[in-house]
Amino acid sequence: MSVVIEAKNLTKRYGYRDTVFMALDGVDVKIKKGESVAIVGKSGSGKSTLMHILALMDKQTDGELLINETNVGGYKSKQLDQLRNKEFGFVFQHFFLNPRETVLENVALPLKIAGISRREAHKRARAALKAVDLEDKARNKGTALSGGQKQRACIARAVVTDPQVVFADEPTGNLDSTTGKQVEELLFNLNKNQGITLVIVTHDSELAAKCDRQIVIKDGKILEG
């Protein structure tokens, strides 16, 4: 399998001089196309920092980051934004749906950002909603959905651009156990049936165990994975 994301000797520092905090300290990671990976560790371990850098939401202090074997270290902010919107989808613990817009409009947002026409964006958004069994909620406002429905809408938004990688940060953290398992099943089905690479940040050992492998991080260093 080809390598989709590779990090070489990543470091992330916060603060200055005597107040320096090493959130990441010489991290090496490879994520291959089509696999499911869990990034696990206790609060403050550096797992969310690592995800944010791998997903181009933050920049490392030192080290290299390669996306599809291309070093993106010299990319400008606009280039990074375009690459992130094209290649990555995101599912967070908090749903981040615009309450003033319909579910369809929320799901179509990444396509609008990419410059896709409204008609085409809505067509693809409806297909994404159908894939998560929410087609009948397209005209509803985000506030009219249950927690599980909101997360399914977020998954539809994450995959509407046909991304290579979906990053899921504690995707079941705000859900009850039954709804959480439904969301987990949906994510793993996307991984298995559509070949989407799945990267899950979690402290849930049961969820992590369902992934192909685990990257265990402690005090900004990789212990396993």
The end-to-end CA distance of the chain, in Å, is: 17
Dihedrals phi, psi of 56, to nearest 5 degrees:
65, 25
Residue 51: its pLDDT value, please?
Answer: 95
Sequence-distant (6+) residues with CB within 8 A of 214 are: 37, 38, 39, 40, 208, 224, 225
Residue 174: its pLDDT value, please?
Answer: 82
Dihedrals phi, psi of 136, to nearest 5 degrees:
-75, -5
Q: Are 57 and 81 in contact (CB under 8 A)?
A: no
Q: Can you identify the CATH homologous superfamily of domain 3-224?
A: P-loop containing nucleotide triphosphate hydrolases (3.40.50.300)
Helical axes 118-131 vs 103-113, angle rounded to 10°: 120
156-215 confidence digits (pLDDT tens): 999 999 999 999 998 888 888 888 888 899 999 999 999 999 999 998 889 999 999 999
Residue 143: its pLDDT value, please?
Answer: 86
Judged against a pLDDT cut of 90, whether residue 135 lies above it is answered with yes
Any idea where the domains of the chain sit in the sequence? 3-224
DSSP lists the bridge partners of residue 36 as 198
85-119 confidence digits (pLDDT tens): 999 999 987 878 888 899 999 999 999 988 999 99
This prediction's pTM: 0.91
